[in-house]
Amino acid sequence: MRTPLVCASMLMIAAGAASAATDSCGWESPDSLVLATYPDDTAITSSLDSEQVHAGATALKLERNNESPTPSVYVATVDNLNPGDVVTAGFWCYDMTPGAAPSGRIWGHWNDDIAGDIMGYNGSAGGNNDYSAGDGWSYLEWSWEVPADHKGLVIEARLYSNPGDIIWIDDIQVDAPDGSDLNLACSVETAVQEMSWSALKASHAQK
Ligand SMILES: [Ca+2]
């Protein structure tokens, strides 16, 4: 009689250890746009915008301001990673110029002191060599495996374009290992979502 109970307990522990720190959000609050802008805040103007939206009421609008090389916004960080861990991230990007600027790309770099300095840089982590398709919304995704000498990953939305060009980003999802510290740029909950939950609760209460 005791053996099945022990097995069940062990399975529960195993399932807990294997679960991932997955999170997603979709840029619905002006208080929660980007974690940082590279190389500095003058490179890209980030704003909440309703002109192009993948889901919800708004998306992140990115406008390139100057000729700074490979400008990007930091859309997520994952800290306290271990060697061999895999992080998968993706977001939707709106671009209506196939094969030409502006285009978006998902990219990553290592920063082993994210808490101390969000702009810290410990080498490129690479990313998807494909750009946004240029026929509306396309999903850009990449997976990174953590090498032995790094613990922090910064996920970037890169903007390949000329000054004045604009792209939109929406609905990011990141799958990170359990125990890691995942932070999404758009993770602040909005009043709209809170109202939706209230409405949902009210509709259930009436039944
Ligand atoms: Ca949205």
Gap from CA of 49 to ligand 1 centroid (Å): 9
- Sorting pLDDT into bands at 50, 70 and 90, what band is 189? low
Is the bond preceding 163 in cis, omega lying within 30 degrees of 0? no
pLDDT digits (tens, 9 = 90+) for 149-175: 999 999 999 999 899 999 999 999 999
pTM: 0.82
Gap from CA of 132 to ligand 1 centroid (Å): 18
Gap from CA of 28 to ligand 1 centroid (Å): 5
Gap from CA of 83 to ligand 1 centroid (Å): 33
Average confidence (pLDDT) over 63-70: 92
Q: Which amino acid is at 195?
A: M
pLDDT of residue 204: 52
Contact 187, 27 (CB under 8 A): no
Gap from CA of 2 to ligand 1 centroid (Å): 51
CATH of 20-202, one of 3.40.50.300, 3.30.750.24, 2.60.120.260, 2.40.40.20: 2.60.120.260
pLDDT of residue 205: 52
Flag whether pLDDT at 196 surpasses 80.
Answer: no
pLDDT digits (tens, 9 = 90+) for 100-156: 889 999 999 999 999 999 999 999 999 998 899 899 999 999 999 999 999 999 999
pLDDT digits (tens, 9 = 90+) for 14-55: 444 444 689 999 999 998 999 999 999 999 999 999 999 999
- Scan for tokens 């992140």, then name that residue: 60
